[in-house]
Amino acid sequence: MSTLEIKDLHVSIETEQGVKEILKGVTLTIKSGEIHAIMGPNGSGKSTLASTIAGHPRYNVTSGTITLDGVNVLDMAVDERARAGLFLAMQYPVEVPGVTMTNFLRTAKTAIDGEAPKLRTWAKDVRSAMEKLKIDADFANRNVNEGFSGGEKKRVEILQMELFKPKFAVLDETDSGLDIDALRVVSEGVNRAHAENDMGTLLITHYTRILNYITPQFVHVFVDGRVAEQGGPELADELEANGYDRFLAPVQA
């Protein structure tokens, strides 16, 4: 059983206009096997939280802590965090030219497990994971994300999640740009990892659609860099019905 604890996190970025604070004191705890949904209007800081957990260099933590089973995550380099069991399914996966999917997956798996996966079982695992996510077999020979459609990129993110078996997965708007079939297939992947590996999930989403397929125990509403409200799945229903209006400051006439 693992615990990922975020306490009073303040995060800022450098912009042309100067330093801008995006997260203004986020507190959140997630345990193995739990599914948390993070919702909120655009600009509320949801993606910033995801990138900060993964350690993207663009984001500066000005105060607060993130610990994984008591160990300080903020002190760890990006690759150390992944090896410690954190996985980020990115919102905009980049293309990495000239590096094939097979090469990349094997290198990453070796890094995460600390040893190279057995060749024969690995090839089978990759093939079967690709089938379950309806990813064409020839994708293995393509360069990472090169020429992939938005939906294909997202499915490949989930493929990696299933192969690397993280303790905690942060899914940054994985549902955006997916059609119904892709949405269903991706959700099955998340539910599988949750059931088989007791994975904890931080599901960042703008729309409630994906919550028809992945049932959260906890829903957090982000507004202006903070958690404005927390609740169970019924909070998601309420948001679907009423939107984010009641969280937003009234417009001065």
Partner 1 sequence: MTNPASAEQAEKVEGVEVGEARITIPGMSEEGENLATAHVETEHTHGGLGESTTKSKSGGSRADRTTSLSVADFDVPTGREEEWRFSPLKKLGRVLSDAATQTPVTLKLRKTPDGVTQESLAHAQSPRGTVFSAADRAAVVGYSQTEQADYIKVAADTELSDPLFIDITGEAAGHRANGHLVLEAGTHSKVVFVLEHRGSADANLNVEVIIRDGADVTVVSLQRWAEDAIHVGQQDAELGRDAKYKHVSVTLGGEVVRLNSNVRYAAEGAEASMYGLYFADAGQHLEHRSFVDHNSPRNTSNVLYKGALQGQDARTVWVGDVLIRKAAEGTDSYEKNQNLILTDGARADSIPNLEIETGLIEGAGHASSTGRFDENHLFYLMARGIPEKEARQLVVRGFLNEIIQAIGVESIEDSLHEDLEKELEMVGF
Q: Using CB under 8 A as the criterion, which residues of the chain lie in contact with partner 1 when the complex forms?
A: 54-57, 77-79, 81-83, 88, 90, 93-94, 96-99, 103-104, 107-108, 111-112, 143-144, 160, 164
Min. distance of Cβ 246 from partner 1 in angstroms?
Answer: 36
User: Pick from 198, 234, 196: which is nearest to 215 by CA?
Assistant: 234
**What DSSP string runs through 102-126?**
HHHHHHHHHHHHSSPPPHHHHHHHH
Looking at residue 213, the DSSP 8-state letter turns out to be T
Which C-beta is closer to partner 1: that of 77 or that of 249? Answer: 77
Which C-beta is closer to partner 1: that of 107 or that of 149? Answer: 107
Min. distance of Cβ 161 from partner 1 in angstroms?
Answer: 10
Min. distance of Cβ 189 from partner 1 in angstroms?
Answer: 17
- Those residues whose C-beta lies under 8 Å from the C-beta of residue 61, and which sit 6 or more positions away, are 9, 10, 11, 52, 74
Which C-beta is closer to partner 1: that of 100 or that of 176? Answer: 100
Burial environment of residue 77 by CB neighbours within 10 A (0 to 12, 13 to 18, 19 or more):
exposed
Min. distance of Cβ 15 from partner 1 in angstroms?
Answer: 17
Angle made by CA atoms 75, 64, 167, in degrees to the nearest 5: 55
Rounded to whole angstroms, the Cα distance separating 209 from 96 reads 30
Which C-beta is closer to partner 1: that of 18 or that of 57? Answer: 57
Give, rounded to a whole angstrom, the gap between the first and last alpha carbons of the chain.
52
Give the distance from CA 175 to its chain's centroid: 11
Which C-beta is closer to partner 1: that of 55 or that of 225? Answer: 55
Min. distance of Cβ 52 from partner 1 in angstroms?
Answer: 12
Tokens 């957090």 belong to residue: 220
Rounded to whole angstroms, the Cα distance separating 28 from 19 reads 24
Min. distance of Cβ 53 from partner 1 in angstroms?
Answer: 10
- The answer to whether 76 touches 53, Cβ cutoff 8 Å, is no
Min. distance of Cβ 102 from partner 1 in angstroms?
Answer: 13
Which C-beta is closer to partner 1: that of 201 or that of 208? Answer: 201
Which C-beta is closer to partner 1: that of 159 or that of 239? Answer: 159
